[in-house]
Structure formats: C-alpha cells, structure tokens
Structure 1
C-alpha cells in the first residue's frame, strides 16, 4: 500500500530542481518519438546563442541572448540602446542569430515572447507571426508568442 502522507515544502532547492528536470526529461523522452529521436544528437542540447553589437567607443549598443534546442532558435532577450534604435541594428542582430541558428545548428524555426508595449510590430516586419496571445500577463499587458520558419 502506498502512503498518502506528503510533506510539502516551498524552499528553493537547486538540487531538487535539477533532479525534477532530469526526471521530467526522462518521462517526456520516453513518451515522445520526436524527443527519443533527438536523444544523443546535437539538436538535443540546449546551446546558448549570443550576438553582441558594440559602438565606436566599444560600448554595448545592443545584443541578443537566446539558445537553440530541438531544431529551434529561442530568442530570450533582444535589446538595442536608445541612441542606436531605428537604425536597423535590432533587425541585424536578429538576422545574425537566425543565420547562425540555421546554418551552423540546423534550426528550422525560431520563437520568442514579447509584450504588446515592446516589439510585436518589429517582429512582424522580420517575418514572425503571432501563434499565441495571453491577455493580462501581467495585468493590463498582453504577451505574444511569435514564431518564424528559418528556410
């Protein structure tokens, strides 16, 4: 007989987090033919992808932080310093990341999240499409998930 007694904790525990993540990955891999096929391939690894732009004084003008996994580029952050906005730098950073993800890592698509006050219009101009909108996340703001094929 299995005990129904559970002790609940709320403390942050990196070791348990890592154990939970590993067990979830095992469960998901066992259940998904796609994830099983990725097992042991370069596409299985979550690999950081960063692109940086510096100005003439070698100061950070902008950058993109993301990663590739399972044939996808995930853009986590894209930022351009105010003096360099509206110069095309954001588009060049994004294009460089997409090119690297496609040519060197075999990615077929890209995804990102952005809020309604940030840059959904910018991403649409770069070929991204909204696949999900979450209103009031956080309250009063809509979050968009956007994707693009990298063919």
Structure 2
C-alpha cells in the first residue's frame, strides 16, 4: 500500500532531485560529465565593495547556460556594466561549447535590457505575481 503524501524535508527533496537527474542522464548522455556547473562573475568598486554580479549554471553536458541572477547597484546602472557582465558570462559559455543561453525576468525588471542584448522572448507567464508578467528569454550563442 502506498503511504499518503507527506511534507518533504531537505533529504527527501535531494533524493527526488537526484532521481530526476539520473532519469535525465539516460536521455542526454553528454550530461554525465558534469550535469550542473555553477558559473558567475562580479564587479567591485575602488573600495572593494561588490557593485554587481551575474550567476548562472551550465547544464546538459555544458551545452546550455541558464542565467539565474544579474544585479547591479542602482548607482552603477546604465553605464554598460550589466551588458559587460552578460557578455563575459556568454563568452565563457561559448568557450565551453555552450550553444544556448536562457533566463527569466519580470515586467518590472530587465526585459528590454535583455532584448537589447540579443535575447528574444519565447514565453510569458501572466499574473505571476498577480498584476505582473514573467518573461522567458533565450539567445543562441
């Protein structure tokens, strides 16, 4: 008999995640080398304070780049630093034979910035959160 659905602790979540990864590896054998690899860059000011950064993950045998976070302190925006961080992570991805980058952003964040940097919208999730849109973007590298 199957037990009732129960809340998961971190160990159960990690087990479920590992099982899905194992399943995925059967369908994308190239991913066995390193299924997920974190990648990121940051910028510091003259005082050594971090003023911006970009974080992502290479996956599927390092053929795809998912950009998770791009942040710049407000006083350093619109100076080309965000585009420089984006180009840097893309350059590293290309050097590792990545062919596709993707990300998500909200209507109150940076959709137009990403489009200006060569990304295209391939999906929109409306009312996420209520009254806003979540955009999914991609770029061939």
Q: TM-score, normalised by structure 2?
A: 0.92
Q: How many residues align?
A: 139
- Per-residue deviation at 1:83? 1.2
Equivalence map 1:22-37=2 (5 Å): 22-30=18-26, 32=27, 35=28, 37=29
Which of the residues 6, 10, 14 maps onto 2:3? 6
Gap regions ≥5 residues in structure 1: none
Task: Out of 120-129 and 57-66, give the one that drifted further.
Answer: 57-66
Which of 35, 51, 60 is the equivalent residue of 1:45?
A: 35
1:147 Cα deviation from its structure 2 partner: 0.3
1:17 match: secondary structure? helix
Matched, 1:126 2:117: yes
> Partners of 2:109 and 2:14 in 1: how far apart?
32
Q: Deviations over 1:76-122 (max 9, x none)?
A: 0000111110100000000000001111x211110000001100000
Over aligned residue pairs, what C-alpha RMSD do you find? 1.4
1:25-64 per-position Cα deviation (integer Å, ceiling 9, x unaligned): 233333x3xx1x31433xx421111110011121111100
C-alpha separation between the residues in 2 aligned to 1:27 and 1:59?
42
Name the one with the larger strand percent.
2
Unpaired runs of 5+ in structure 2? none
**Superposed, which structure 2 residues align to 1:1-151 within 5 Å?**
3=1, 5-10=2-7, 12-30=8-26, 32=27, 35=28, 37-41=29-33, 44-70=34-60, 71-103=63-95, 105-150=96-141
CA contact (8 A) 2:44 2:50 kept: yes
Does the 8 Å CA contact 2:25/2:32 hold for their aligned counterparts?
A: no
Measure, in 1, the Cα distance between the counterparts of 2:74 and 2:15.
42
